[in-house]
Structure 1
Amino acid sequence: MAPSIDVRALVRAAKTRESEVTSTSERHDRFFPDGFVDTTLDDDGCGVASEKSIPIATVDGLSYEREWLGERDADELERALLASPSSWWTSWSNARRVMNAGGNAPSQLFRGEEDLKHFPAYLRALMRAMVNRKTSDAEPNHVLVNEYESRGGITPHSDGAVYAEDVSILTLRGTALIEFWPSEGEITGRPIASVLLEPRSVLTYKGTAYRLRHGIRETDADVVTEETANARALGLNPGARVERNPRGRVSVVFVRKRTVV
């Protein structure tokens, strides 16, 4: 006999999901009531690189900008994101949990306003700012938030065809060394490049850089190497150890999915 279906339970679950979606803006009304206070979200459109932008000549399409977000705004953004509906979050086994805004991450398709209605106003403002400030080539339509324990990391991988080749990572809390490896072969020896992610910074990888594998080691402290592209700008020499924040790390990943035709 086929198992019976609890229709009432399904209806209750659907109503709960609908309630979370319709109340998202209400949940976030208390955040950024006066907008962003110490972050410049617009520019004059001239496309001039920020003086805080650090070019990474060793990898085409890889760039890094310090202090992309203001300090007060970064604190408020973290509070707002961590207050998002529980249904947006998924726990992983490697000391990490992930929040999806704008649809389900495994899906490669973007459903327009159907997905965008999940975004509170402040996230949509940041998505527009990615283009206005020349960080991204086109406005993102999907956001992933990673909350790691202090030594948490992620295995080197490539996102492949899941997203457009234009990804930006905004770090809110903690530091971590992200490493880039060839798209194929074993992960041995030294990476092609690495970047020490700082709070309020943005790392962008496009084109060639997107097709590389990227990962973060599980460790209590990161070690700067000759391949760490922003080491000099941070006043660090190869061999320097940077302790991880005991409170862990929070990062926001801005990506773009293909639109449903």
Structure 2
Amino acid sequence: MAGSECALVRHFVSKAPAAVYYIPEFITPQEETYLLNQVYGVPQTKWTQLSNRRLQNWGGLPHPKGMVLEDLPQWLKTYADQIAKLEVFEGKVPNHVLVNEYEAGQGIMPHVDGPLYFPVVSTISLGSHTLLDFYAPMPIEDAVHVSQAASTSFEDRFMCSILLQPRSLVLVCEDMYKVYLHGIVERKADTVTHDVANLEKCQGLTMGDCLDRARRVSLTIRHVPKTVKAKLLFGTKR
């Protein structure tokens, strides 16, 4: 791990709680185009439509009893292998990817990713920017009624934002993964303020800039530690 810490130290976001790493231009414009072509080249049946976005699931469905492991397609495995070389997954290779598509104005409620995953999440952004917002954890009594508390408690617990530019990679680790909530507010434009903790690592931006959102595709690349073979989970035919 020492070697990876040395490699990542210049990408550490010091103005955010531990630990967030932000790597701008992690992929090239040509790679971005290639990945978007792959995303939109899959059969429509691969998409799952949700109320605020749609997604593709690759690698299997995480489950407390174990994920039935499926091979990642090569266009995703290439980047899972690249991220594994950063050693943030402690020698493990990511085996699960969620492809999320957000139209301008769409987002996701503050949440934690939970214990089914190794406690690191890596995300490559394609097409458009967004602001990933972080919030202090909610008291248990509020968390039980999360839908009722959303309009007030989350806003009161806002900590900072990370600006995710196209082609960037963000790594969310340690307590920022395990404890703090993260989400994307549903709006069509973002204003650059002092709340953007990684602003010094973002090129071509100044305080007060207004950034219009467009369609964004995110590759959320993670490692699911507990996996099983299909025949062990479902049994074999006799």
| Fold-level similarity (TM above 0.5) | yes
Residues 91 and 231 of structure 1, relative CA distance in 2, 3 Å threshold? same
Alignment correspondent of 2:176: 209
Alignment correspondent of 2:212: 243
Deviation at 1:159, TM superposition (A): 1.3
Quick check: 1:179–1:193 contact (8 Å CA) kept in 2? yes
> Once the two structures are superposed, what CA deviation does each residue of 1:20-46 show, in whole Å capped at 9, x if it has no partner?
xxxxxxxxxxxxxxxxxxxxxxxxx95
Alignment correspondent of 1:165: 119
Aligned counterparts of 2:120 and 2:226: Cα–Cα separation in 1? 15
Residues 244 and 198 of structure 1, relative CA distance in 2, 3 Å threshold? same
Aligned residues: 210
2:154 partner amino acid: I
- Scaled by the length of structure 2, the TM-score of the pair is 0.79
2:74 is aligned, of 102, 118, 121, to 121
> Once the two structures are superposed, what CA deviation does each residue of 1:80-106 show, in whole Å capped at 9, x if it has no partner?
122123333200111x10100011256
2:43 is aligned, of 63, 77, 85, to 85
Residues 260 and 136 of structure 1, relative CA distance in 2, 3 Å threshold? closer
Quick check: 1:108–1:258 contact (8 Å CA) kept in 2? no
Aligned counterparts of 1:178 and 1:108: Cα–Cα separation in 2? 30
Identify, as 1 or 2, the structure richer in helix: 2
* Root-mean-square deviation over aligned CA pairs: 2.3
Structure 1 segments of 4+ aligned residues over 6 angstroms from their partners: none
- Scaled by the length of structure 1, the TM-score of the pair is 0.73
Residues 69 and 226 of structure 1, relative CA distance in 2, 3 Å threshold? same
Residues 253 and 210 of structure 1, relative CA distance in 2, 3 Å threshold? same
1:228 is aligned, of 181, 192, 196, to 196
Aligned counterparts of 2:86 and 2:26: Cα–Cα separation in 1? 10
SS where residue 109 of structure 2 aligns?
strand
Aligned counterparts of 2:88 and 2:127: Cα–Cα separation in 1? 20
1:142 partner amino acid: H
Is 1:59–2:13 an aligned residue pair? no
Deviation at 1:240, TM superposition (A): 2.9
Deviation at 1:239, TM superposition (A): 3.6
Aligned counterparts of 2:185 and 2:171: Cα–Cα separation in 1? 19
SS where residue 75 of structure 2 aligns?
helix
2:33 is aligned, of 47, 58, 75, to 75
- Structure ID, larger Rg: 1
Deviation at 1:253, TM superposition (A): 0.2
Query: Any stretches of 5+ residues in structure 2 without a counterpart?
Result: 140-152, 229-238
Aligned counterparts of 2:65 and 2:131: Cα–Cα separation in 1? 28
Deviation at 1:188, TM superposition (A): 2.3
> Once the two structures are superposed, what CA deviation does each residue of 1:6-29 show, in whole Å capped at 9, x if it has no partner?
xxxxxxxxxxxxxxxxxxxxxxxx
1:127 partner amino acid: A
Aligned counterparts of 2:191 and 2:109: Cα–Cα separation in 1? 17
Query: Any stretches of 5+ residues in structure 1 without a counterpart?
Result: 1-44
> Once the two structures are superposed, what CA deviation does each residue of 1:193-223 show, in whole Å capped at 9, x if it has no partner?
2111101101111120102110111111012
RCO higher in structure (CA 8 A, sep ≥6): 2
SS where residue 126 of structure 1 aligns?
helix
Aligned counterparts of 1:106 and 1:67: Cα–Cα separation in 2? 33
Quick check: 2:15–2:198 contact (8 Å CA) kept in 1? no
Alignment correspondent of 1:102: 59
Larger CA deviation: 170-179 vs 155-164: 155-164
Is 1:132–2:70 an aligned residue pair? no
